[in-house]
């Protein structure tokens, strides 16, 4: 028996190529693309302007399958988090953050993460696998339906998700091809039609992949900086040992040549007594003289056995003031959804960790649900 093809795995070019193998013209692919993504349609029988014979063939040979929710949690502040089943006893998380003038969906790119940043709960869970393009874009597809933003959802309405950030579980640029396919769907006018300025990829600093992204699909870029010098960043963000700050900042400047925004966002988690001193802020001022940037200061969101504490509000204000007095834009991220573990750095899901083994060599599944 032939396994049906998941059409969510394709951008428009891939879908055109697949339809060509069926002897179908490109406009059919674009029709189906619009039904899937604009309308949130999951059933080929509902695609009323597609020929009946093609619908029947699609019913036989294809599916529209997104990850399915295992848990749907809503914070007191309206933040909504979904734990999504991606098979193999793994789950990932996606978070919707409603605000007055925009709605932001934070999505995952991997089941777990191999980079092991010391302050991130996802990194502590280890790494299992990359998500497919369909599993990545499927988070946006599903969220639109569950939020009632498409006709297939709870109630048709205007665009609820205006921004997408790839800041969920995983390092997006370590899953480059699948992430780029999903990005192209987000930007495609036949699908979601999002502006490049409203789609952000966050990276810990994989320099060669940053250069590739600049060439093939430049969207807004956020870099997880978290330290102003190599000695400290080596400890907090281990990828820095391979791509130190000099190489990272040079890559940021190259990226700006094609970026939809004229600045890089540097994300900086505020860790009490670790990276939050006045001297650290002054080092960041020197970095800002090298790269057009703004800083997003992120109060640390604690998780069990992290070994870190959140900087005090007073310390964060002082840190921000030093940057502002130097003429640097620095915002402090609001802590959203921490009562459902949806805040920055808290996403963990349930990941089959291949980096940790029992004495018998059997993989261990960390019990990440104990903190929910």
Catalytic residues, by residue number, are 93, 344
**Dihedrals phi, psi of 56, to nearest 5 degrees:** -65, -40
Query: Cα–Cα distance between 143 and 95 in angstroms, integer?
Result: 9
Q: Which two tokens stand for residue 310?
A: 């959140």
Q: Work out the burial of residue 297: count CB atoms within 10 Å of its CB; fewer than 13 is exposed, 13-18 middle, 19 or more buried.
A: buried
């Amino acid at each position: 028996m032939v396994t049906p093809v998941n059409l969510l795995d394709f951008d428009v070019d891939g879908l055109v190529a697949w339809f060509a193998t069926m002897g179908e013209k490109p406009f059919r692919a674009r029709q189906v693309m619009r039904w899937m993504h604009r309308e949130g349609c999951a059933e080929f029988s509902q695609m009323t302007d597609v020929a009946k014979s093609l619908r029947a063939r699609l019913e036989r040979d294809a599916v529209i399958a997104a990850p399915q929710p295992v848990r749907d949690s809503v914070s007191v502040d309206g933040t909504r988090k979904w734990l999504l089943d991606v098979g193999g006893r793994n789950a990932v998380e996606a978070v919707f953050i409603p605000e007055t003038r925009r709605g932001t969906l934070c999505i995952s790119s991997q089941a777990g993460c191999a980079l092991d940043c010391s302050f991130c709960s996802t990194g502590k869970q280890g790494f299992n696998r990359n998500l497919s393009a369909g599993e990545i874009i499927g988070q946006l597809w599903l969220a639109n339906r569950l939020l009632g933003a498409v006709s297939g959802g709870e109630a048709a309405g205007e665009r609820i998700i205006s921004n997408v950030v790839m800041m969920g579980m995983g390092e997006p640029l370590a899953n480059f091809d699948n992430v780029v396919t999903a990005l192209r769907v987000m930007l495609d006018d036949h699908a979601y039609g999002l502006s490049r300025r409203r789609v952000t990829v966050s990276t810990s600093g994989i320099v060669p992949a940053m250069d590739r992204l600049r060439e093939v699909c430049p969207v807004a870029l956020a870099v997880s900086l978290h330290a102003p010098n190599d000695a400290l960043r080596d400890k907090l963000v281990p990828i820095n040992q391979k791509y130190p700050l000099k190489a990272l900042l040079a890559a940021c400047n190259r990226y700006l040549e094609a970026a939809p925004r004229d600045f890089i966002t540097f994300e900086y988690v505020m860790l009490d007594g670790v990276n939050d001193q006045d001297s650290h802020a002054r080092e960041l001022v020197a970095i800002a003289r090298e790269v057009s940037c703004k800083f997003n200061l992120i109060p640390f969101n604690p998780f069990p056995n992290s070994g870190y504490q959140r900087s005090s509000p007073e310390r964060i204000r002082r840190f921000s003031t030093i940057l502002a007095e130097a003429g640097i834009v620095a915002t402090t991220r609001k802590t959203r959804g921490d009562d459902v573990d949806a805040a920055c750095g808290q996403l963990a899901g349930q990941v089959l960790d291949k980096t940790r083994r029992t004495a018998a060599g059997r993989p261990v599944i960390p019990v990440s649900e104990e903190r929910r």
